[in-house]
Amino acid sequence: VSVEVLFQPGGYRVKVESTETILEAVARQGYRAPSACRNGVCHICAAKLLAGDPGPAGLLTVPDNAPTVLVCKAKPTSDCELEMTNLHPADKLVLREISVQVKSVTLLSADVYGVELLAPAGELPAFYAGQYLQLLIPQLDSAFFSIANAPGSRVIELHILAPPGQSSAVTILAYLRANPLVRIRLPMGSCCLARIPETPVVLVAAGTGFAQIKSMVEWLLANNFRHPLSVYWGVRKAEERYAMPVFESWRTQPGMHCVAIAADNPDNEWTGHHTELVKALSREQTDWQTTAVYASGSPAMVYATQDALRVLGLPDAQFHSDVLEYAPR
Ligand code: FES
């Protein structure tokens, strides 16, 4: 049984199943609404009730004010009309520049740094899970980084690989350490999740390509993704697995299958090349005809993955990577 929620002033209509919240339905159908706690605490997802019965969960009534609905909690029992000015459809994210605070720069491991940026209050950065941004740093026009967290909060997390010899990455880190604010341009990239996929999903990352995959996993988990979800993460050396606690925490999620591959791990079959990542992937138990794959890494790794999965039956239209755009074959 489903009901329909009409959002004003945009006039967007969203079908809500009896088992889901309005926020889940909105995300599944390719709309974006602001959310943070997703548990009725922060009120960032509040909408004004214009008509209908949104159900008791998530309904706030304050004397002399129009009733308010927290869409992260509400499971409506009849068609409703809500006013929510910051709900946007999937294709309406506009590229923009904002100044954000540099909250922290932390060495995670083996030359990989975690950077936390904080957008100003009331300036929720709009992006889809898997998109990237540009740091606007003087004299550097190629500071592009995947956003490593899910959309819906003021915090933006980046993973920056900065080995001592790599001057542009070292310059970026020095700038972020020296400046309390940095300007960013976002969102960018079409390899992203604008809506919840209705098929199994396989995510493949090499090195800090993990950042893009992490954003997608966090968003899928937050939106109760209902299909099998597999993650493959390959690195050259075990110490480059800079986010293992996060990766390990996914292993306990129902329906998730996580494989980490490192070249110098004696317990691992990998002998030092990303073709072993592809080999591991080929053992994935899935119907490739009906699976969506998102790959994040070097062009060599991405194309080797696409070629191998095509042989196994994955249609090209279901293989997604930013590499297809910025380094076409
Ligand atoms: S109250 Fe925090 S997201 Fe709904």
What are the tens digits of pLDDT across the range 305-321? Answer: 999 999 999 999 999 99
Cα 176–Cα 181–Cα 182 angle in degrees, nearest 5: 65
| Distance between Cα 140 and ligand 1 center (Å) | 38
pLDDT digits (tens, 9 = 90+) for 76-117: 999 999 999 888 876 667 889 999 999 999 999 879 999 999
The beta strand positions in the chain, using DSSP E, are 2-8, 12-17, 31-32, 46-51, 59-60, 68-70, 80-83, 88-89, 96-109, 112-118, 132-136, 144-146, 155-161, 181-188, 201-206, 229-235, 256-262, 292-296, 319-320
The per-residue pLDDT for 97 is: 94
Å from CA of 150 to ligand 1 middle: 15
CA of 50 to the centre of ligand 1 (A): 19
C-alpha dihedral (178, 187, 210, 297), degrees to nearest 10: -110
* Mutation to probe ligand 1, out of 21, 24, 32, 35 (largest number of atoms < 8 A from CB): 35
CA distances from 272 to 241, 265, 276 (A): 14, 10, 8
Residue ranges around ligand 1 (CB below 6 Å): 35-38, 40-45, 70, 72
Q: What token pair was written down for 267?
A: 């317990």
pTM: 0.78
> How far, in Å, from the CA of 112 to the mean position of ligand 1?
32
DSSP E strands, 217-255? 229-235
Place of tokens 């299958």: 257
